[in-house]
Amino acid sequence: MHWHFLVSILSVVLIDLVLGGDNAVVIACSVRGLSRPQRSRGIAVGAACAVILRVAITFFAADLLGHRFLQLAGGVLILWIAVRLLQDAMPDAASARVTHDFWKAVGYIVAADVTMSTDNILAIAAVSKGNLSLLIFGLGLSIPLVVFASNLLSRLMDRYPLVVYLGAAILGRVGMEMILTDSFVAHKFHPAEPLRYFMQALAALAVVAAGRLRLEVRQQQTSHP
């Protein structure tokens, strides 16, 4: 039993490491518009709120995932958030980054993290097998892991703006993947694997293009009031 519990803990750690990457990307993009002193606080508050919601959602995950259109709605939400994050994360000459709203960033983090955490929630719930302490450990462990990765990514985005576009593209791919794996879409259209990959790549490019277009429109409106 002790070895089984230890293996379960190691499995939870690996799950958090493997599946936490996308969440770290959305958090890093969300806080990029904040001043440096606010970033760490925004990451901590957003990640903590998201994990609390994850714990609550985990108890209903099995029932929720059977509902049609749930993944579809979540995927659409992620695509919209990705476009907005790209627009807000890219600094421009007309507006300073430090004016980005703190609670708006936290809202983005919570909404996107909970929406994208389906795989993480199910994997940890499966490993814990009803063990509440192991379940809470697994979901709680994601906080320091995601906080560390998010801080690292936000610094990379400061130095290399291309990382912002890469992050938005990743979120676009994740959003389309959620849409295509929705029970209604899967049973209605039966998308083949090559088509799924193509649609995910197309969504990644579309998110970057839409975010860049919205940014240019905002810059024009600011420069020509």
Predicted confidence pLDDT, tens digits, the chain (225 residues):
566 667 677 777 766 666 667 778 888 888 887 887 888 888 888 878 877 777 777 666 655 655 678 778 888 988 988 888 877 666 553 344 444 578 888 888 888 877 777 666 666 666 666 677 777 777 677 777 777 888 888 888 888 878 888 888 888 888 898 899 888 898 899 999 999 999 999 999 999 999 888 878 877 776 665
- Amino acid 84: pLDDT: 82
Question: What ranges do the domains of the chain cover?
Answer: 2-223
CA–CA gap between residue 201 and residue 195 (Å, rounded): 10
- Fill in the amino acid letter for 50: A
- Amino acid 61: pLDDT: 60
CB 108 within 8 A of CB 26: yes
Supply the Cα-derived Rg of the chain in whole angstroms: 18
CA–CA gap between residue 89 and residue 155 (Å, rounded): 13
Q: What are the tokens at 133?
A: 């302490």
CA–CA gap between residue 41 and residue 43 (Å, rounded): 5
- Amino acid 180: pLDDT: 92
Q: What are the tokens at 77?
A: 């939400």
